């Protein structure tokens, strides 16, 4: 991974730490969800696997270092710093909650403890990777919940914020509960099931719709999903039905999905195709899916693109990465920010998950509850292979199922009870007094 894929100030600060003789200080940084995304009541943590990959492989190439040397911001930096960057490796520790865990406002997703420079440089990458995948896994969990057992497939790479974001969105959406993705590279890389139908261009490429349907069936057999709205939806469905089995079914991509799905269902049934299914797509989100389900529209699966791959109603997440402890010459200092509207809590932490509430405490505390932050990397070495996307997905499903319905509502849900331990509160007061 490119060391340069970070904000410039991470690198200038690292040079400053180095020159001030602080690069040997041991820092503890915490990545936490300061604020939940708009109209979310929980998030599903995701992105840890890519964070681990980054930490284990981040390097600076000779060309990258030459580039840094050429920048005016490094004019006063000694060559010893660039030699240090040339050998840059992450040698520290990473503690993190498992992918698929439901989290709430204020809770840490991960903690990095490492020599100051090694903990500082990853900030930008970690925030972006965890923030994005968490956003998408969370959106997927909402959509899947509203689909009430009907399958949801992620279709959004074309609307994702770059092709690579599309690959990661496919992964995160799967963790959040989707059946799979249309992104073939996500399937290849992460072993996620891939799905697809046909585009309007398929239909248009044949002189008539009937022929396009016939060729699709020849190609895909029982996996055939006819796209029927290129010219006239009902006529398209009649043509598809006339071909008989095998086929999975049809896809509706425009128009009034409640009316059309009913009409198409009876076309399929009248042709004896009771097993044939209906997939709906076209600017769907959790609210529209809830309506379709509430109206008992005979839709068996949903393809969700734009809204899912961009979390369009809440495209940002308030994740932060803050220095919470620093050891210099064996002396540990607990740090916190007291800016007007942005106070942070000092010290390395632990989340204790009780059956009906969470307690955020100090990392050194014990409690009769599940401790969510666990060691992942120690001394630069991965402790054990991470669970794959399939396991993370199962964990997410379980994690959401445990939340009482009141906390899972689409809007205006009750905030989940998260408390701070007395020891953590005392540490905050201590840090405040010391400033």
Structure tokens at 421: 């331990």
- 22 binding a second copy? (CB under 8 A): yes
Question: What's the closest the beta carbon of residue 323 comes to a second copy, in angstroms?
Answer: 4
* Residue placing its CB nearer to a second copy in the complex, 228 or 424: 228
Stretch that binds a second copy, among 66-74, 348-356, 365-373, 397-405 (CB under 8 A): 66-74
Determine the angle formed by the axes of helices 123-147 and 389-401, rounding to 10 degrees. Answer: 60
- 101 binding a second copy? (CB under 8 A): no
Question: Among 165, 32, 176, which Cα is nearest to 96's?
Answer: 32
Q: Helix or strand or coil: residue 277?
A: strand
From candidates 62, 72, 330, 356, binder to a second copy by CB under 8 A:
72
* Residue placing its CB nearer to a second copy in the complex, 215 or 300: 215
- 93 binding a second copy? (CB under 8 A): no
Q: Distance between CA atoms of 195 and 192, rounded to whole angstroms?
A: 10
Structure tokens at 433: 């007094």
- 12 binding a second copy? (CB under 8 A): yes
Question: What's the closest the beta carbon of residue 353 comes to a second copy, in angstroms?
Answer: 27
- 271 binding a second copy? (CB under 8 A): no
In the stretch 223-242, what mask flags binding to a second copy with x, by CB under 8 A?
Answer: x-----xxxxx---------
- 185 binding a second copy? (CB under 8 A): yes
Task: Report 139-178 residues binding a second copy (CB under 8 A).
Answer: 155, 157-169
- 80 binding a second copy? (CB under 8 A): no
CA dihedral 301, 296, 246, 254 (to 10 degrees): -60
From candidates 24, 315, 415, 417, binder to a second copy by CB under 8 A:
315
Q: In what order do the strands lie in the sheet with 225-227?
A: 180-181, 151-154, 301-304, 277-280, 249-252, 225-227
* C-alpha torsion sign, points 285, 289, 292, 298: positive
Q: Distance between CA atoms of 149 and 266, rounded to whole angstroms?
A: 22
Question: What's the closest the beta carbon of residue 322 comes to a second copy, in angstroms?
Answer: 7
Q: Distance between CA atoms of 430 and 38, rounded to whole angstroms?
A: 33
From candidates 98, 134, 261, 310, binder to a second copy by CB under 8 A:
310
From candidates 69, 218, 374, 409, binder to a second copy by CB under 8 A:
218
Q: What burial letters (b/e) apply to 158-177, b meaning 16+ CB within 10 Å?
A: ebbeeeebbbbbbbbbbbbb
Task: Report 126-145 residues binding a second copy (CB under 8 A).
Answer: 127-129, 131-132, 135
* Residue placing its CB nearer to a second copy in the complex, 64 or 300: 64
* Residue placing its CB nearer to a second copy in the complex, 280 or 372: 280
- Per DSSP, what are the bridge partners of residue 333? 326
* Residue placing its CB nearer to a second copy in the complex, 306 or 391: 306
- 415 binding a second copy? (CB under 8 A): no
Question: Which contiguous run of DSSP H or E holds residue 115?
Answer: strand 108-115
H/E/C letters for each residue in 251-295? EECCCCHHHHHHHHHHHHHHCCCCCCEEEECCCCCHHHHHHHHHC
In the stretch 336-365, what mask flags binding to a second copy with x, by CB under 8 A?
Answer: xxxxxxx-----------------------
Q: Distance between CA atoms of 99 and 175, rounded to whole angstroms?
A: 8
- 59 binding a second copy? (CB under 8 A): no
Task: Report 386-405 residues binding a second copy (CB under 8 A).
Answer: none
- 35 binding a second copy? (CB under 8 A): no
Q: Helix or strand or coil: residue 124?
A: helix
From candidates 151, 196, 380, 387, binder to a second copy by CB under 8 A:
196
- 272 binding a second copy? (CB under 8 A): no
- Per DSSP, what are the bridge partners of residue 181? 154, 194
Q: Distance between CA atoms of 137 and 309, rounded to whole angstroms?
A: 10
Q: Helix or strand or coil: residue 96?
A: strand
From candidates 45, 55, 140, 323, binder to a second copy by CB under 8 A:
323
Question: What's the closest the beta carbon of residue 275 comes to a second copy, in angstroms?
Answer: 17
Q: Distance between CA atoms of 75 and 312, rounded to whole angstroms?
A: 42
């Amino acid at each position: 991974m490119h060391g340069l894929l970070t904000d410039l100030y991470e690198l200038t600060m690292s040079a400053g730490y180095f020159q001030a003789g602080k690069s040997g200080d041991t820092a503890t940084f915490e990545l936490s969800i300061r604020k939940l995304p708009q109209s979310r009541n929980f998030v599903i943590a995701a992105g840890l696997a890519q964070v681990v990959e980054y930490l284990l492989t981040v390097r600076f190439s000779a060309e990258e270092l030459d580039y840094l040397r050429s920048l005016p911001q490094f004019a006063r930096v000694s060559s010893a710093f660039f030699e240090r960057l040339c050998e840059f490796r992450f040698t520290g520790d990473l503690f993190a909650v498992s992918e698929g865990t439901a989290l709430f406002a204020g809770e840490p997703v991960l903690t990095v403890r490492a020599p100051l420079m090694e903990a500082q440089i990853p900030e930008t990458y970690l925030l972006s990777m965890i923030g994005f995948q968490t956003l998408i896994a969370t959106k997927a969990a909402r959509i899947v919940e509203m689909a009430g057992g009907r399958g949801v497939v992620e279709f959004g790479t074309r609307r994702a914020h770059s092709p690579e974001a599309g690959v990661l969105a496919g992964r995160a959406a799967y963790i959040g509960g989707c059946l799979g993705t249309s992104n073939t590279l996500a399937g290849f890389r992460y072993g996620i099931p891939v799905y697809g139908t046909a585009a309007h261009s398929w239909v248009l490429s044949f002189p008539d719709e009937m022929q396009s349907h016939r060729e699709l069936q020849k190609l895909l057999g029982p996996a055939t999903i006819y796209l029927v709205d290129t010219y006239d939806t009902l006529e398209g469905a009649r043509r598809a039905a006339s071909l008989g089995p095998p086929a999975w079914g049809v896809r509706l991509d425009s128009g009034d999905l409640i009316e059309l799905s009913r009409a198409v269902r009876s076309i399929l049934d009248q042709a004896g195709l009771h097993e044939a299914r209906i997939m709906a797509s076209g600017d769907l989100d959790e609210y529209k899916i809830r309506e379709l389900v509430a109206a008992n529209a005979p839709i068996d699966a949903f393809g969700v693109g734009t809204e899912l791959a961009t979390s369009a109603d809440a495209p940002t997440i308030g994740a932060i990465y803050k220095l919470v402890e620093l050891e210099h010459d064996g002396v540990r200092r607990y740090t916190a920010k007291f800016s007007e509207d942005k106070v942070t809590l000092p010290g390395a932490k632990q989340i204790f998950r009780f059956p009906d509430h969470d307690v955020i405490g100090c990392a050194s505390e014990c409690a009769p509850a599940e401790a969510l932050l666990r060691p992942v990397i120690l001394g630069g070495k991965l402790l054990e292979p991470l669970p794959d996307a399939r396991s993370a997905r199962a964990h997410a499903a379980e994690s959401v199922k445990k939340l009482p319905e009141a906390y899972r509502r689409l809007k205006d849900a009750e905030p989940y009870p998260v408390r701070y331990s007395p020891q953590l509160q005392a540490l905050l007061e201590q840090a405040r007094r010391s400033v």
